[in-house]
Structure 1
Amino acid sequence: MKTGEVLAEVRRLRRSFGDRIVLQDVSLTLRAGEVTGFVGANGAGKTTTIRLMLGLARGEGSTLFLGRPLHAWGSPAKVVGAVLGGVAGHPKHRVRSHLRMVAAGCGAPDRRVDELLEQVGLTEAAKLRLAQLSLGMAQRVGIAQALLGDPRVLILDEPANGLDPHSIRWLRQFLRTQADEGRAVLVSSHLLGEMEQLADTVVVLSRGRVVAASPLTELRTAASNRSVVLVQTPNMAGLARLVEDNGGRLEPTDQTGTRITGMDRIKVGSLAAKEGLELHWLSEETPTLEDFYLSIAEEDFKIT
Structure 2
Amino acid sequence: MCYILRRLFSLSLRQILKSQAYRLDVACLSDCGRVRTLNEDAVAVDADYGIAVVADGIGGHRAGEVASRMAIDIVVERLRSKVSQLRAGARQPTPLQFAEQIIGEANRAIHAAAREQAARNGMGTTLALALLHEQRVALLHVGDSRIYRLRDGQLQLLTRDDSLLRDQIELGMISAEEAGESHNRHLVTRALGSGERIAVHLNEEAVCSGDVFLLCSDGLSDLVEEADIELIVDSLQTNLAVAAGHLVQLANDNGGFDNISVALVRVRDGEAPAPKQGWLARLFGRLAS
Q: Which structure exhibits the higher relative contact order, with contacts defined as CA atoms closer than 8 Å and separated by 6 or more residues?
A: 2
- Higher-Rg structure is 1
**TM-score band, normalised by shorter chain:** under 0.3
TM-score, structure 2 as length reference: 0.28
TM-score, structure 1 as length reference: 0.27
